[in-house]
Chains A and B, each alone.
Chain A
């Protein structure tokens, strides 16, 4: 199960104008609130960050909150958790992409985690999702398959996509390491078998 967190609580807590998520300083103030929500989740769950309609998120705020959390999730300090983004406008998505791209640009201090960062963004009311950030085409294809199948293991992927077992396992493992999917292990007569699942996203109630 995922947990929904309305970002309007951030603007209320910080005394900001409604829907306005701007400046690095405000991002630094908001970050601990979001971090605490993520810490309080049990393992294997996702935090759905729900953005209000008509929001404005600038690149610096996104960098200091969403990207920072995303990179820390990739580093493993929060365990098997993820953040999912809901209700972002096209402009906000552009700014998050710009923050990821600019973070990867050559003249900035290299940050391997930023290079690999990819986040799941859902339209409001749960009608479809997209990846924001950098994800290779073959991994995106595999992710789509995991989302449709409600559970996928390496042998099934191997069969669906005519891959060898090693390649299929690697793709699923990479998605798992990117925190774009979760997994459950089962001990079978063949040994430990992992089943990979899309995050349980709870749409707008």
Chain B
């Protein structure tokens, strides 16, 4: 997409649209809190994506984006781009949000599917540290191959091994390794991505970690149904089976990643959210599962987890 500069914010949109000549512009207002709830709201908006349209993601209301929301934003942009044939446009970004998303590598990792506008010429008033220099954050990282997983794991070790207690850092990185390997091994999608962020949790020696891994691949149901083949069972049945360790591999090996996340979340009284196609399963604070079916269709799979961890004292 060729963007032509314009003085007026609105003018930039119109000029971009006119360069591409879509038949219609669809403006989607991104929810203010882009967490699990915000992600579901965003996915609901995407149920009527059509070709020959230009999708504009209006970010003016956004106040919070956590890792689930970031991955959801990337997925939304990919879905818009894949179907409409045009990159999604991010508009009405505040300066603060723009620089935060830039720091989290959103615009680099998702450059094929989205582009921010109205931010040209913005310079940060202070130097934005490179992500490698920040502890406790893993920016959006693409997973397309085993080498990507290895690089991501190395980056996660650098980011978290000095921040978290040794055992928790090791567990977190191990879980990331398993979830990211699932993407390139099983999903069929070479553009999945992952991100991890840490947040203060109000207790001195503790920190909250949130991670999210997502892809637009074949989904859990399709992956398992090839082996266990019961088309009558709903999607959530397959999500629950995957969380218990069912594997799609013919030799019976594998299927350890999701049970491992569940185990990590149980040990830390955190939460787990597994979303694929029309189903989602949530596991929180060692409570019983909450399973929801008939959700807006999301191609592929997204896994998010939150734990409260000890810091490295």
Contacts and interface: CB of A to CB of B under 8 A. Distances in A.
Interface stretch (B43-51, B78-86, B146-154): B146-154
Contact of A16 (B150, B167, B181, B256): B150
A86 interface: no
Given A22-B181, A24-B253, A107 B167 contact: no
A45 interface: no
B166 A98 contact: no
Interface string B223-244: 0000000000000000001001
Given A59-B260, A91-B167, A23 B177 contact: yes
B256 A99 contact: yes
Contact of A24 (B169, B174, B181): B181
B256 A60 contact: yes
B253 A64 contact: yes
Contacts of A16: 150
Q: Which bracket fits the contact residues of B?
A: 20 to 34
B257 interface: yes
Given A20-B154, A64-B253, A56 B247 contact: no
B157 interface: yes
B170 interface: yes
The secondary-structure label for the interface of chain B is helix
Q: Which bracket fits the contact residues of A?
A: 20 to 34
B252 A22 contact: no
B174 A20 contact: no
Given A25-B185, A56-B157, A105 B167 contact: no
Contact of A102 (B169, B170, B171, B260): B260
Contact of A22 (B166, B177, B259): B177
Nearest to B168: A91
Contacts of B166: 89-91
A108 interface: yes
A199 B153 CA distance: 35
A108 B252 contact: yes
Given A64-B253, A107-B246, A111-B252, 20 more contacts: A17-B150, A20-B154, A24-B253, A24-B254, A25-B181, A26-B146, A56-B173, A58-B178, A59-B256, A60-B178, A60-B257, A91-B169, A92-B170, A95-B174, A98-B263, A102-B256, A102-B259, A102-B260, A106-B244, A109-B252
Interface of B: 146, 149-150, 153-154, 157, 166-167, 169-171, 173-174, 177-178, 181, 185, 241, 244-247, 252-257, 259-260, 263
What are the 4 tightest A-B residue pairs by CB atom distance, in nearest-first order?
Answer: A91-B170, A109-B252, A107-B244, A58-B177
